[in-house]
Amino acid sequence: MYSNDGFRELERHECLRRLAKVPVGRIVHTRQALPAVLPVNFSLDHDGAVLLRTSAVSELVRAIDGSVVAFEADEVDAVAHSGWSVVVTGSATVVTDPAEHERLTRTGPSSWVPSPQEVFVRVEPELVTGRELVGGRSLYGVDLTGAT
């Protein structure tokens, strides 16, 4: 992240703990050589990998399988001027092992748009970063809320 921007950096374990508490994030990938961002529901696997469940024939699967992607989730309180953001960067792969697919069918995320043929996409947590702003006050002691 940016160590001098006034936000508090979060450790990896804190990032994963916070990710586990929110149901929706954004997958960031390349589409026709341009950045693309898509909101998705997700869950975390036991090793911190981000798990998505989607249609086997979706454009998303074709776009990200075998690619390096970023996944971002956050929680923001606009009134209190506080919140956090976590980014997981890593390789995305469709789960092809039948036993693993069966396990994820029981323990992984549910699809919000079920389809006849669903697959799980796993984003390996190769790089996990996060930052937090508490109560509208930066690390520099500057009040960001405009209060005096």
Question: What burial class does residue 34 get, using C-beta atoms within 10 Å of its C-beta: 0-12 exposed, 13-18 middle, 19+ buried?
Answer: exposed
Q: What is the mean pLDDT of residues 26-53?
A: 96
| pLDDT for 8 | 87
Report the distance separating Cα 111 and Cα 117, nearest Å: 11
Model's pTM, two decimal places? 0.86
Give me 42's structure tokens: 């997700």
At 3, the amino acid letter reads: S
Phi, psi (deg, nearest 5) at residue 106: -85, -40
Q: What is the mean pLDDT of residues 46-52?
A: 96
C-alpha distances (whole Å) from 86 to each of 54, 62, 111 are 22, 25, 22
More confidently predicted of 145 and 56: 56
Q: What is the mean pLDDT of residues 120-142?
A: 83
Give me 92's structure tokens: 């995305």
Q: What is the mean pLDDT of residues 30-47?
A: 95
The whole-chain average pLDDT of the chain stands at 89
Report the distance separating Cα 20 and Cα 16, nearest Å: 6
Phi, psi (deg, nearest 5) at residue 98: -60, -40
More confidently predicted of 144 and 101: 101
More confidently predicted of 13 and 148: 13
Strand partners, 1: none
